[in-house]
Amino acid sequence: SLKPFPKDFLWGASTSAYQVEGASLEDGKGPSCQDVKVVPEGTSDLKVCADQYHRYKEDIALMAEMGFKTYRFSISWSRIIPEGTGAINPKGIEYYNNVIDECLKYGIEPLVTMFHFDMPAALDERGSWGNRDSIDWFLNFAKVMFENFGDRIKYWLTINEQNMLTLVGPVIGTLMIPEGCTNVLKETYQQNHHMLVAQAKAMALCHEMLPGAKIGPAPNISLVYPASCKPEDVLAAQNYNAIRNWLYLDMAVYGVYNNLVWAYLEENDACPEFGEGDAEALKNGHPDFIGFNYYNTATVEASDGTEKLDSGADQQTARGEAGVYRGYKNPNLPTTEFGWEIDPMGFRATIREMYSRYRLPMIVTENGLGAYDTLTEDGKVHDQYRIEYLRKHIEQIQLAITDGAEMMGYCPWSAIDLISTHEGMVKRYGFIYVDRDEFDLKTLDRYRKDSFYWYKKVISSNGED
Ligand code: BGP
């Protein structure tokens, strides 16, 4: 029989600063890489987004109405330190103090992502994560957050989807590769290494400054299936599992490079250089839990190394890497309107695999369905498809709990409609509809979708409904 969800299970939902806040250059905020990037043709810029900066009270009240136990949001680095290092913007601190206090007023536990795809533009100009100083820049930013908000925030997440940043950073508008770089793979994994060291040091600093707080990573974890039971496809799946998933969690939890990834980097002359103290720092940072985003699984087959494959289409549709693995469309899975496979059972499989590897409590920091929603004339959004998607995934969490996994919470993407990483405003994920189009800001009024009322029941019954 099924085990129940834990009594203190953290039901909630997620957003990220650059996708939801707007006010991109208001009240002293410095530009981030997202504000200066060229957005894909036909998609909105990130100046207004859902305008949460001006409407956080209304938004948090709606989350409270759904019964949220937690709200996962991110703190914009360049809103509180406009140049990335140096002067602090008091208005930025004030804004997040207000958001935190508003959550706490309703008994909503803030779950804060420290870095969600939005490097301050001023630091991009100094080489971004490619500059070894980025470790200190990030640590300073962490310290400012711990000092200012640490008295009220119990749960911290370090870097959102560092693995996707490394694998498809340019699609998301992050990860700067310097012009004329001759070994892009090495440069990419050097930047990745700096992020890993920064994360480890931030976890250690959190434990030192805030002994009561808990901190963990937030990669995007999707189990990789072999396309067949051919041994060479199984090896390809192991390769991609290591490169896409385990590297990040092995590093966060054990502080060591996954051997398959290291061998792959060696083969390609792309091993990152260790700076002084890195090995020790990596060993000294420990997560209290694992946060992870799950949208679907991936399926791959062997690559004989002769094909031309570029590694990235987007977060969920990597095409492969010659000689290592090759993306394969799983014929057993339906896809969303935006081409992402849907695999609820793979969610359970992913949780099983993660829990048996790491034995740490886990919280789902993203999961959800991006779709074209329509607002009816009487202000309704009939998003039955989203309810179906979420219901099936919640069922699988309960099965995973029954398997013995320790699950702390579930925060689907997204609490409210916001701008997609690269597909604009039309790709909506929220429980709350925001009245705006791609380029026409309309009223920006909020409407409760059908999924809003449904999720409210899920929460009040602790997942039994
Ligand atoms: C994750 C990101 C989010 C997000 C979500 C949906 O990769 O952490 O920031 O937006 O995916 O992706 P998209 O917006 O591309 O549909």
Residue 311 confidence (pLDDT) above 70: no
The pLDDT score that the predictor gives to residue 24 is 96
More confident residue, 177 or 351: 351
Q: How confident is the model at residue 27 (pLDDT cuts 50, 70, 90)?
A: very high
Mean of pLDDT values over 378-398: 98
**What number does the ligand 1 atom closest to the CA of 160 have?**
8
In the predicted model, what is the mean pLDDT of the chain? 96
pLDDT tens-place string over residues 218-266:
999 999 999 999 999 999 999 999 999 999 999 999 999 999 999 999 9
Between the CA of 421 and the centroid of ligand 1 the distance, in Å, is 5
Per DSSP bridges, beta strands 214-218 and 155-160 are parallel
Q: How confident is the model at residue 313 (pLDDT cuts 50, 70, 90)?
A: confident
Question: Sign of the CA dihedral 77, 79, 85, 87?
Answer: negative
**Closest Cα to atom 7, ligand 1: which residue?**
315
The pLDDT score that the predictor gives to residue 465 is 74
The pLDDT score that the predictor gives to residue 104 is 98
Between the CA of 230 and the centroid of ligand 1 the distance, in Å, is 33
Residue 174 confidence (pLDDT) above 90: no
Residue 312 confidence (pLDDT) above 70: no
**What number does the ligand 1 atom closest to the CA of 164 have?**
7
pLDDT tens-place string over residues 85-103:
999 999 999 999 999 999 9
**What number does the ligand 1 atom closest to the CA of 413 have?**
5
Percentage of the chain with pLDDT > 70?
100
Alpha carbon distance 101, 109 (integer Å): 10
Query: Are residues 130 and 186 in contact, defined by beta-carbon separation less than 8 angstroms?
Result: no
Residue 173 confidence (pLDDT) above 90: no
Percentage of the chain with pLDDT > 90?
93
Structure tokens given for 463: 């997942």
The pLDDT score that the predictor gives to residue 434 is 98
Q: How confident is the model at residue 64 (pLDDT cuts 50, 70, 90)?
A: very high
- Mutate which of 16, 115, 366, 367 to test ligand 1's pocket (most atoms within 8 Å of Cβ)? 366
What is the set of active-site residues? 161, 366
125-146 b/e (C-beta count within 10 Å ≥ 16 → b): eeebbbeeebbebbbebbebbb
Mean of pLDDT values over 188-211: 98
- Mutate which of 166, 296, 315, 340 to test ligand 1's pocket (most atoms within 8 Å of Cβ)? 315
The pLDDT score that the predictor gives to residue 169 is 87
Residue 146 confidence (pLDDT) above 90: yes
**Closest Cα to atom 6, ligand 1: which residue?**
420
**What number does the ligand 1 atom closest to the CA of 370 have?**
16
- Mutate which of 421, 423, 426 to test ligand 1's pocket (most atoms within 8 Å of Cβ)? 421
Between the CA of 336 and the centroid of ligand 1 the distance, in Å, is 14
**Among the residues of 359-449, which ranges form H helices?**
384-403
Residue 176 confidence (pLDDT) above 90: no
Q: How confident is the model at residue 114 (pLDDT cuts 50, 70, 90)?
A: very high
Instruction: Return the domain boundaries, the chain.
Output: 10-220+341-460
Per DSSP bridges, beta strands 109-115 and 70-74 are parallel
Structure tokens given for 130: 């490619």
- Mutate which of 413, 417, 428, 438 to test ligand 1's pocket (most atoms within 8 Å of Cβ)? 413
The pLDDT score that the predictor gives to residue 81 is 98
**What number does the ligand 1 atom closest to the CA of 172 have?**
15
**Closest Cα to atom 14, ligand 1: which residue?**
420
Residue 276 confidence (pLDDT) above 70: yes
Helices 247-254, 162-172: axis angle to 10 degrees equals 130
Alpha carbon distance 367, 72 (integer Å): 12
Residue 390 confidence (pLDDT) above 90: yes
| Residues with C-beta less than 6 Å from any ligand 1 atom | 16, 19, 160-161, 164, 220, 293, 315, 366, 370, 413, 420-423, 427
**Closest Cα to atom 15, ligand 1: which residue?**
421
Residue 79 confidence (pLDDT) above 80: yes
Between the CA of 420 and the centroid of ligand 1 the distance, in Å, is 6
Superfamily of domain covering 10-220+341-460:
Glycosidases (3.20.20.80)
Q: How confident is the model at residue 318 (pLDDT cuts 50, 70, 90)?
A: confident
Between the CA of 15 and the centroid of ligand 1 the distance, in Å, is 9
In 392-443, the DSSP E strands lie at: 407-410, 432-434
Between the CA of 267 and the centroid of ligand 1 the distance, in Å, is 31
Please provide the DSSP assignment of 290-313 as one string: EEEE-S--EEEE---S-S---S-S
Q: What is the dihedral of CA 203, 208, 210, 212, to 10 degrees?
A: 90
Q: How many helices (H) and strands (E) does the chain have?
A: 16, 14
Between the CA of 220 and the centroid of ligand 1 the distance, in Å, is 10
